[in-house]
Amino acid sequence: MSKVRSANLGYPRIGENREWKKALEKYWNGSLSKEELLAETEQLRLQFLQKQKKSGIDFIPVGDFSLYDHVLDTSVMFGIVPKRFTYNRGPVPLETYFAIARGTEGAVASEMTKWFNTNYHYIVPELEDAVPTLTENRPLAYYLEAKEKLGIDGKPVILGPITYLKLAKGYKEEAFASLLEQFVPLYIQVLKELAEAGANWVQIDEPILGTTLSKKDIAFVKQTYTEINKAVPQINVLLQTYFETVNFYEEIVALPVQGIGLDFTVGDTLSLFQTYGFPEDKVLAAGVIDGRNIWRTNLEEKFTLLEHILLYIDKKQLIVQPSSSLLHVPVSKQLEEALNLVIKDALSFADEKLAEVVALARGLQEGKAAIQKEIEESKRAVQALNDSPYRNDKQTQKNIRNLNHFKASRSLPFAKRIEKQQALFQLPLLPTTTIGSLPQTPEVRRTRLKWRKGEITEQAYAQFIEAETKKWIDMQEEIGLDVLVHGEFERTDMVEYFGEKLNGFEVTRNGWVQSYGSRCVKPPIIFGDVSFDKPMTVKESVYAQSLTKKPVKGMLTGPITILNWSFVRDDILRHEVAYQIALALRKEIENLEGNGIKMVQVDEPALREGLPLDQEKWQDYLDAAVYAFKLATSSVQDDTQIHTHMCYSDFEDIIEAISALDADVISIETSRSHGELISSFEDFTYDKDIGLGVYDIHSPRVPRKEEIIQNIERALQTISPKQFWINPDCGLKTRKEAETVAALKVMVAAAKEIRKAQLALQEK
């Protein structure tokens, strides 16, 4: 009898208790040797494989593990190391690997940006003068490790050549074909060695196929996989796509590969599948379990979906799997003992998703009755949450039905507002500031943990936060910054903090996911209707403002970033959730203003990353994002200055939407790709104030004044000095105190030097 098989695409790297993160950081601070790091991470990797084997997964991924980032892994496997790092061919040393990601005293780190529309960051490959070569066959090493140490005949995972090159920088578009010609033989060599070692299937990830591509791009895809199939016919290639319905469906499923992985949780994949069919000679890896969200699957619905799929293909062609790697969800919900049971019962993290995959495959194999108990339990859990008071707040739902009652535009245009703001604040030319967060020392984290555990009183904790705030207000004054921040010492995370304060959110104890490198975040869960409860940031902001005559910015996270960096309920439209959040933030901003805070920063670093992969869906998303931001920020007085902050990624794609936000000041993370962003302003006249991050905070190195001056001068070629603010490219929470103070002093010195020169020019 034909067997319906199960598969996984990738497993979280961090461990149930972030053992991976802790090992990396011990290595970086010198308390763990390289040999100890490799031994500890190997043990973790084997545990992850054993867990998947025990769960009953048929196709277990190997090679999805990484010590930092899988795109960086692909780069070093092919010897793609920027020239500024010392490298003499052969296997890339671990020290060089981490240097590319984190920078060194003498070399800036490679650019880091978002992995498609997720909150995971990858290290952008730099292909200037690249001469790729196979330095080591990483998938082969991981395949042999699993086979020899655990008896697992795994499914090696590798990032595909089309996606890798599309995500890279440092070459002109016309060079794509020649670069592809250099890389494809190396992929063939990897696959040949895997085949010789006994690998049966290999998963080649090409998520770029879910984006808007051209016919020329698809020709490259066909050429590549035709060449691979011809050179290595003895291995089965599963071409894996995810995050969106593929463009050029008919062409993709006709490619000369043995299997196609499709995401059935987004877009209209099912209708394409039904309209155009699926080849009889290929395997369909159906991603029916959402690999990016944390809600329990209604197994009845997914079973029905799979039955529809089986109307078009034979059982032997079907593999049941998640829609994407489980890298994007926490490991297990078993440690969430403090969660409300209605909420916890409706959750499904990575381990629970594996169980759902296996259950569906078993049901299709043995008959629905074999999993009837699991089906009924899933339906009951989902329905209980939908019927709960959490998702039936009458006032919140009424507000969403009557959004036209809420003002969503400022009273005066920017040109008039800025005159009133300048009269109030009296800032110098090229004002200096920071993005918001300041270093959270081990003492800050320890004290917050003691407070959470009840080991110190509320009063003692508040006194500690005030002392930290005062220390840093004084330090900012001494450094010479023009606009100050309170430092956010009371916050663990810029989204989680608000998740703890707003109705409709829940925070987990151990729901960590990787963001970049060893940086893990704990996204809050939006499980119900969102509403304002009580002021969330007023106390800290007012206290900080009382310590200085300089303006102190109130600091909030914007509605779209809270949405995109949370696990969002999936029973209503995402933009409706965004509007609920916006109305709650609106009340907080009004409270800040009412208490004398006249600068309020509403950060939207995740706005760009939320863009759908399909460009046809962009405008609807951007319209909703702009409306949500304006809904939150438009009720303030004309002389209250609204700031926002964003992370850089192809800014030119959304520059009109950014302008439409109508924020008085925007700061943008740009230091690793400064010139590329500034070129956007050569084609678009931006009429509001702007700060382009002048140094990289993701690296521990202190920038040289000459570097910052160069970045400022480059920006001033396009942007008027009357519009320009000078700031780091992102928040400083993860940096150490000494390096932060040193870097800010360099930044202020550079700003003063440029300011003096600009004033001299104006006097001539």
**Catalytic positions:** 698
According to the annotation, is 295 in a ligand binding site?
Answer: no
Strand partners, 43: none
The Cβ of residue 233 has, within 10 Å, a number of other Cβ atoms equal to 12
According to the annotation, is 647 in a ligand binding site?
Answer: yes
**Integer Cα distance of 265 and 301 in angstroms:** 12
According to the annotation, is 520 in a ligand binding site?
Answer: yes
Phi and psi at 472, nearest 5°, equal -80, -25
The pair of three-digit structure tokens given for residue 4, joined into one six-digit string: 């319906």
User: Taking a C-beta distance cutoff of 8 angstroms, is the pair 473, 484 a contact?
Assistant: yes
According to the annotation, is 69 in a ligand binding site?
Answer: no
Q: Which of 160, 138, 162 is nearest to 66 (CA)?
A: 138
- Please give the sequence-ordered ranges of beta strands (E in DSSP) within 208-282, or none if there are none: 236-240, 259-263
- How many degrees, rounded to 5, is the angle at CA 238 between CA 235 and CA 239? 125
The Cβ of residue 561 has, within 10 Å, a number of other Cβ atoms equal to 29
According to the annotation, is 725 in a ligand binding site?
Answer: no
Residues in the chain, overall count: 764
CA dihedral 577, 580, 581, 586 (to 10 degrees): 160
According to the annotation, is 745 in a ligand binding site?
Answer: no
The DSSP secondary-structure symbol of 523 reads: -
According to the annotation, is 706 in a ligand binding site?
Answer: no
3-state SS assignment for residue 422: helix
Burial of 148 (0-12, 13-18, 19+ CB in 10 A): exposed
Name, in order, each residue with C-beta under 8 angstroms of 711's C-beta and a sequence gap of 6 or more.
671, 674, 692, 694, 695
Q: Which of 281, 348, 278, 329 is nearest to 308 (CA)?
A: 278
The pair of three-digit structure tokens given for residue 680, joined into one six-digit string: 């956007």
According to the annotation, is 616 in a ligand binding site?
Answer: no
Strand partners, 552: 484
According to the annotation, is 216 in a ligand binding site?
Answer: no
Q: What is the largest CA-CA distance in the chain?
A: 88
**Integer Cα distance of 51 and 74 in angstroms:** 25
The Cβ of residue 420 has, within 10 Å, a number of other Cβ atoms equal to 15
- How many degrees, rounded to 5, is the angle at CA 347 between CA 342 and CA 348? 155
The Cβ of residue 365 has, within 10 Å, a number of other Cβ atoms equal to 18
Strands 283-289 and 318-322, sheet pairing: parallel
- How many degrees, rounded to 5, is the angle at CA 134 between CA 131 and CA 139? 140
- How many degrees, rounded to 5, is the angle at CA 339 between CA 463 and CA 52? 120
Name, in order, each residue with C-beta under 8 angstroms of 763's C-beta and a sequence gap of 6 or more.
none
According to the annotation, is 565 in a ligand binding site?
Answer: yes
According to the annotation, is 89 in a ligand binding site?
Answer: no
According to the annotation, is 301 in a ligand binding site?
Answer: no
Phi and psi at 490, nearest 5°, equal -85, -5
The pair of three-digit structure tokens given for residue 48, joined into one six-digit string: 């992850």
3-state SS assignment for residue 442: helix
**Integer Cα distance of 640 and 624 in angstroms:** 24
- What Cα–Cα distance (Å) separates residue 355 from each residue in 111, 360, 429? 37, 9, 60
Strands 525-531 and 552-557, sheet pairing: unpaired
Helix (H) or strand (E) holding 529: strand 525-531
According to the annotation, is 201 in a ligand binding site?
Answer: no
According to the annotation, is 540 in a ligand binding site?
Answer: no
Phi and psi at 650, nearest 5°, equal 50, 55
Binding-site residue positions for L-methionine: 435-437, 488, 603
Residues annotated in the binding site for Zn(2+), as ranges?
645, 647, 669, 730
Q: Which residues are annotated as a binding site for L-homocysteine?
A: 435-437, 488, 603
Residues of the binding site for 5-methyltetrahydropteroyltri-L-glutamate: 18-21, 114, 519-520, 565, 609
Q: Which residue positions form the known binding site? A: 18-21, 114, 435-437, 488, 519-520, 565, 603, 609, 645, 647, 669, 730
